[in-house]
């Protein structure tokens, strides 16, 4: 499928995997918009893209349904109805075990990682249904397939829930021409690593997946014809194979 001219929205697009995917789509000729919470980071991200067309951006807290609604209204006016939605907004926390977690921080991780994804999908679906086509990509984690102490309690719970959301939507929306893919990356060199109790050193980060690795997979999925659905894709560095 030719992606030229397709409208793509990437949440969590100011850095990491989200920005990598946004740049890859723009290189394919997509008209791309980034969403994130911090204006300064979005400006830097947009300016960093050496792509045929500029990356547009808008601040949005995906946990705020009113802001999400305004984001999609803005996108429709600037670029048109969304063809591809990438849900890459995600957070984690340092104190992530049941023994030391602040319940308010558990709520925040769930709100961003799961409810925020729901909010964006809920806002995107009416337009996709009207067109009879659309691709939704949820950036989950291998911690959404296997509970992992390293990832922490709230992150694992939120990613398992987001995975179920994507799987359910595939069953519900396939008749409407809408495809959903859950991506399960292993360790990836992104800023979220700084939230680990002990952030990994540069030499370890170099052996991890890089954002452009995930982006290449997402572009490949997006270029498939409508008859082909990739419900889920696991990608890990060699040192992190799943059983």
Please write down the HEC assignment for all residues of the chain: CCCCCCEEEEECCCCHHHHHHHHHHHHCCCEEEEEECCHHHHHHHHHHCCCCCCCEEEECCCCCHHHHHHHHHHHHHHCCCCCEEEECCCCCCCCCCCCCCCHHHHHHHHHHHHHHHHHHHHHHHHHHHHHCCEEEEEECCHHHCCCCCCCCHHHHHHHHHHHHHHHHHHHHHHHHCEEEEEEEECCECCHHHHHCCCCCCHHHHCCCECHHHHHHHHHHHHCCCCCCCCCEEEECCHHHCCC
Active-site option among 155, 186, 215, 218: 155
Is 155 an active-site residue? yes
Which residues are known catalytic residues?
155
């Amino acid at each position: 499928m030719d992606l030229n001219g397709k409208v793509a929205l990437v949440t969590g697009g100011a850095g990491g995997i989200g920005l990598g995917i946004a740049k890859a789509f723009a290189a394919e000729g997509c008209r791309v918009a980034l969403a994130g919470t911090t204006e300064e980071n979005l400006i830097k991200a947009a300016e960093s893209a050496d792509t045929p067309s500029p990356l547009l951006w808008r601040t949005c807290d995906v946990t705020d349904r009113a802001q999400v609604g305004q984001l999609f209204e803005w996108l429709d006016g600037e670029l048109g109805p969304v063809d591809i939605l990438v849900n890459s907004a995600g957070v984690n926390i340092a104190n992530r075990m049941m023994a030391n977690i602040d319940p308010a921080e558990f709520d925040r991780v769930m709100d961003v990682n799961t409810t925020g994804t729901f909010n964006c999908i809920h806002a995107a679906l009416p337009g996709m249904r009207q067109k009879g086509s659309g691709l939704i990509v949820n950036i989950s984690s291998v911690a959404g397939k296997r509970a992992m102490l390293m990832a922490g309690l709230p992150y694992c719970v939120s990613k398992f829930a987001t995975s179920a959301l994507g799987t359910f939507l595939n069953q519900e929306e396939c008749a409407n021409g809408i495809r959903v893919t859950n991506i399960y990356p292993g360790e990836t060199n992104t800023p979220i690593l700084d939230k680990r109790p002990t952030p990994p050193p540069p030499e370890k980060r170099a052996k991890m997946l890089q954002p452009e690795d995930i982006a290449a997979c997402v572009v490949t999925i997006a270029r498939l014809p409508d008859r082909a659905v990739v419900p889920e894709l696991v990608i890990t560095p060699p040192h992190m194979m799943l059983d």
